[in-house]
């Protein structure tokens, strides 16, 4: 459909653009209103259109221009009629064509990015289709996206999991995480990912402690400490064959598919090797307070919470030498960094601005106090990456902080097991643990009424270790104890009873209260007084006496030395045992028989049960658990539990022979 060059261009509101008479078209999101200009064609190519400057209040506005405007309006209406007819034809053609697919049905999907200015913040994902118009950078469906994160310490290991969950929630591509971690974080995160078993996710660790010497010569005032400088040495740390990587701070939350950010690498040109968002505070402008003297930066500077690194080109540019020389020069006057690696990145960019591709600010919405972050979005759909880069974190001041906080808390509390989903069409690397688990599960009978119980026995639970920092020194006499409950350490009888060299289970007598507020007794005498007044009771005496009756509370009242008790049916005391004791039987999950089975196993292995005379614990009231509610209300639950008990006793008989006969006899007599 060619137009005569003499005709003025016509603007229409219509989600399809004609580029030439070949009827190539772009299918754009129907939820947006697009203002499209149909242009005169010269040699089959669209002619550039200069801005319409003649306005009614402009000096250039004349009667002649009024007539031209009226003529243009008539032509617009004619073109709109023609385009409506053409749109109907195209709709029919699309309905007949099986080759036009959108979104996830396409082999690749493409991204359209803004350039950082406010007009382009609205740029969104253009679904992949078979037209040739508007060719965009693409991310292959099964292309692996590489992400590097510096993570050190037990607190950082908690933050990074929330970040990872937000990435996994939105992702459609395989991921390879490169974690620069200290020994604590590596222990925590290695356990987490091994038990998480998320398909199409690979994790490699790099020893942060070995990198300290690379950056320890740089004085740093930032709260991130020495680890806040380690992004500078990623070109040296990461594998030499890794060409590009997205680098993230741990206090990041993703609100979109990370593949959109990965696609931006295709927009780098020339010597651009760093993708960064402009800093949204006034820090580098040097006007925050009197005598404020920041490191040199280009304009407002750049924030390094989100970085796109072209590693191969950086290595060829001798990045190591570049940043080191810059840091040495600036430190002669600045003496230390205030914002860790960010100061040095900005000093390098100040001298070499050609290195940067400026990302639109929605790729790093910085939630510090007094930032311009609100200019990065107008709607929730504009948000892509949220950065809690203030030391205040969730307590930061921001107009929409409640929304951002809720988004963060959603991923913090999100069940990570729900993210164990396959990427269809993208084969995962073989995982021995996962394959063994699937084999074991496949051997179970799904028609078995107790299938859920049996399945749980083989389930690998996602495990996130967490512990407080403690300078541990092993005891020379090998009497170390791992504390797994609130117990007093000043009166245990570990040495006296030679727990390290004998099979003993030390029983801590258990009591309970029905009061939600209780002043905990500071001595045995005070506890006995509360017991006599009815403030405390022996544990579960009114609903399950057999569970703790063998403790012999009457004897405990006057006991001054440890005393031995014998196993009885359904005995389930709280015990202190050696680390190498038998583990709990994994068939008993939820409510019922887990402690009973464990105590039975200890007795079968000839452990002595010794009651401690001056130790005690108190059970506080709480709402019933979900599992005990099922036990009480679901007959099938109770039937399955009875079946599992019988199977456990049969296993005991096979393992311990004649010695296990007493357990069957005791069960029949109880």
Those residues with Cβ within 8 angstroms of residue 631's Cβ, 6 or more apart along the chain or in another chain: 590, 591, 592, 637, 638, 641
Buried b (16+ CB within 10 A) or exposed e, 293-323: ebbbbbebbbbbbbbbbbbebbeebebeeeb
Most distant pair of Cα atoms in the chain: their distance: 113
Backbone angles phi, psi at 303, to 5 degrees: -95, 135
pLDDT at 513 over 80: yes
Find which of 17-31, 90-104, 169-183 is predicted with most confidence, using mean pLDDT.
169-183
Those residues with Cβ within 8 angstroms of residue 229's Cβ, 6 or more apart along the chain or in another chain: 215, 218, 220, 337, 340, 341, 344
Average pLDDT (469-477) is 71
3-state secondary structure of 96: helix
Strand partners, 243: none
3-state helix, strand, coil in the chain (%, to 5): 40, 15, 45
Residues 204-226 pLDDT 10s: 999 999 999 999 999 988 888 89
pLDDT at 57 over 60: no
- Percent of the chain scoring above 90 in pLDDT: 43
Q: How confident is the model at residue 28 (pLDDT cuts 50, 70, 90)?
A: very low
Find which of 52-61, 170-179, 588-597 is predicted with most confidence, using mean pLDDT.
170-179
**Cα–Cα distances in angstroms (integers) from residue 99 to residues 94, 303, 572, in the given order:** 9, 43, 67
Stated as kind and residue range, the H or E segment containing 637 is: helix 635-656
Q: How far is CA 118 from the centre of its chain?
A: 30
**pLDDT in the model for residue 203:** 96
pLDDT at 559 over 90: yes
- Cα 427 from Cα 92, distance rounded (Å): 37
**pLDDT in the model for residue 100:** 35
Residues 289-315 pLDDT 10s: 788 889 999 999 999 999 999 999 999
Buried b (16+ CB within 10 A) or exposed e, 203-221: bebbebeebeebbeebebe
- Percent of the chain scoring above 70 in pLDDT: 76
289 or 46, which is more confident?
A: 289
> SS3 string of 201-248?
EEEEEEEHHHHHHHHCCCCECCCCHHHHHHHHHHHHHCCCCCCEEEEE
Strand partners, 277: 303, 359
Both structure tokens of 563: 């005393």
Q: How confident is the model at residue 14 (pLDDT cuts 50, 70, 90)?
A: very low
Average pLDDT (581-592) is 87
Average pLDDT (45-67) is 44
Residues 141-163 pLDDT 10s: 899 999 999 998 777 888 899 99
**pLDDT in the model for residue 613:** 94
pLDDT at 11 over 60: no
Q: How confident is the model at residue 401 (pLDDT cuts 50, 70, 90)?
A: confident
> CB-side exposure of 170: number of CA atoms within 13 Å?
16
Residues 113-133 pLDDT 10s: 444 433 333 333 223 333 334
**pLDDT in the model for residue 359:** 96
**pLDDT in the model for residue 61:** 43
Stated as kind and residue range, the H or E segment containing 302 is: strand 302-310
What DSSP designation does 494 have? T
369 or 618, which is more confident?
A: 618
**pLDDT in the model for residue 440:** 82
Q: Where are the beta strands (DSSP E) in 48-170?
A: 108-110, 138-140, 145-151
Q: Would strands 45-46 and 145-151 be described as parallel, antiparallel, or unpaired?
A: unpaired
Smallest Cα–Cα separation from 240: which of 314, 174, 299? 314
- Cα 461 from Cα 192, distance rounded (Å): 10
């Amino acid at each position: 459909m060619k137009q005569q060059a003499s005709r003025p261009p016509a603007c229409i509101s219509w989600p399809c653009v004609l580029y030439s008479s070949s009827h190539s078209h772009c299918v754009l999101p129907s939820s947006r209103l697009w203002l499209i200009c149909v242009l005169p064609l010269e040699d089959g190519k669209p002619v550039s259109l200069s801005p319409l400057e003649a306005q009614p209040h402009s000096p250039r506005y004349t009667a002649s221009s009024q007539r031209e405007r009226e003529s243009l309006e008539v032509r617009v209406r004619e073109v709109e009629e023609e385009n409506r007819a053409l749109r109907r034809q195209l709709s029919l053609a699309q309905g007949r064509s099986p080759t036009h697919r959108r979104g996830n049905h396409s082999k690749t999907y493409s991204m359209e990015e803004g350039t950082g200015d406010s007009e382009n913040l609205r740029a969104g994902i253009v679904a992949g289709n078979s037209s040739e118009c508007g060719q965009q950078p693409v991310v292959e469906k099964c292309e692996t996206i590489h992400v590097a994160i510096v993570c050190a310490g037990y607190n950082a290991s908690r933050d990074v999991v929330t970040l990872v969950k937000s990435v996994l929630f939105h992702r459609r591509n395989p991921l390879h995480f490169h974690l620069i971690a200290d020994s604590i974080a590596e222990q925590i995160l290695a356990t987490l990912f091994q038990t998480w078993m998320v398909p199409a996710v690979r994790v490699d660790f790099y020893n942060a402690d070995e990198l300290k010497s690379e950056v320890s010569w740089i004085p740093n005032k930032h709260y991130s400490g020495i680890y806040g400088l380690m992004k500078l040495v990623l070109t040296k740390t990461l594998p030499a064959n890794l060409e590009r990587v997205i680098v993230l701070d741990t206090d990041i939350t993703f609100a979109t598919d990370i593949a959109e950010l990965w696609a931006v690498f295709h927009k780098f040109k020339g010597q651009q090797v760093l993708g960064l968002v402009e800093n949204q505070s006034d820090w580098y402008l040097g006007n925050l307070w009197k005598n404020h003297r920041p490191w040199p930066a280009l304009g407002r500077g750049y924030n390094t919470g989100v970085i796109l690194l072209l590693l191969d080109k950086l290595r060829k540019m001798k990045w190591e030498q570049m940043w080191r020389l810059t840091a040495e020069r600036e430190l002669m006057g600045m003496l230390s960094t205030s914002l860790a690696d960010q100061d040095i990145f900005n000093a390098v960019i100040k001298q070499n601005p050609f290195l940067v591709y400026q990302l639109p600010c929605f790729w790093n919405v910085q939630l510090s106090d007094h930032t311009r972050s609100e200019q990065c979005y107008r709607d929730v759909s504009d948000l892509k990456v949220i950065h809690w880069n203030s030391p205040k974190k969730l307590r930061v001041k921001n107009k929409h902080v409640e929304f951002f906080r809720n988004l963060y808390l959603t991923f913090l509390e999100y069940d990570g097991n729900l993210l164990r989903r396959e990427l269809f069409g993208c084969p995962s690397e073989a995982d021995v643990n996962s394959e063994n688990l699937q084999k074991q599960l496949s051997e179970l009978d799904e028609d078995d009424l107790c299938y859920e119980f049996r399945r749980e026995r083989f389930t690998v639970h996602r495990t996130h270790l967490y512990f407080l920092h403690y300078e541990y020194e092993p005891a020379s006499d090998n009497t170390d104890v791992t504390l797994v409950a609130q117990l007093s350490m000043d009166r245990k009888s570990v040495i006296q009873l030679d727990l390290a060299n004998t099979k003993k289970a030390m029983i801590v007598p258990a009591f309970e209260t029905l009061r939600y507020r209780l002043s905990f007794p500071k001595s045995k005498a005070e506890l006995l007084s509360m017991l006599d007044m009815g403030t405390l009771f022996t544990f579960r005496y009114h609903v399950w006496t057999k569970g703790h009756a063998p403790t012999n509370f009457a004897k405990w009242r006057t006991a001054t030395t440890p005393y031995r008790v014998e196993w009885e049916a359904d005995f389930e005391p709280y015990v202190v045992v050696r680390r190498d004791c038998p583990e709990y039987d994994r068939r008993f999950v939820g409510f019922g028989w887990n402690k009973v089975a464990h105590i039975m196993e200890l007795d079968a292995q000839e452990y002595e049960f010794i009651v401690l005379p001056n130790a005690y614990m108190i059970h506080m009231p709480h709402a019933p658990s979900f599992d005990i509610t099922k036990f009480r209300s679901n007959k099938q639950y109770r039937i399955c539990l009875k079946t599992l008990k019988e199977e456990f006793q049969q296993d005991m008989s096979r393992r311990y022979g004649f010695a296990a006969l007493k357990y069957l006899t005791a069960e029949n007599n109880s």
